[in-house]
Amino acid sequence: MKSSAIIVNTSRGGVIKQDALVQALKTNQIRGAGLDVMTPEPLPCDHVLTTLPNCTLVPHIGSAETQTREDMATLCSANLLAGLEGKPMPSQLC
């Protein structure tokens, strides 16, 4: 990446090699990072990423939109009701 790059991760914490990111931020190989996801979550308060001035951490706010939360609640309710009725869950993960 260019030294002027700012990397943003809103997908999964494991997508970015966090140790390599820390090194790149410390040595100014990249300009900055914005992370909505980290490994582990939540990060310990003393994690090095919390101390870097060129790193912004936000607490998984990508799903905080009202419509998204309503859809999540609807999905959860449908799965719960199906499970209670002994039926297959409509949104089963595994």
Collapse the DSSP code of 24 into the 3-class scheme (helix H, G, I; strand E, B; otherwise coil) and give the result: helix
Listed in order, strand segments (DSSP E) in 11-57 are 32-35, 55-57
Using the Cα atoms of residue 43, residue 13, residue 34 and residue 59 in order, give the sign of their dihedral. Answer: negative
pTM beyond 0.85:
no
Residues with active-site annotation: 60
pLDDT tens for the chain, 94 residues: list them. 899 999 999 888 889 999 999 999 999 999 999 999 999 888 888 999 999 999 999 877 767 788 888 998 999 999 999 999 999 999 876 5
Cβ-count burial 38-53 (b if 16+ within 10 Å, e if not):
beeeebeeeeebeebe
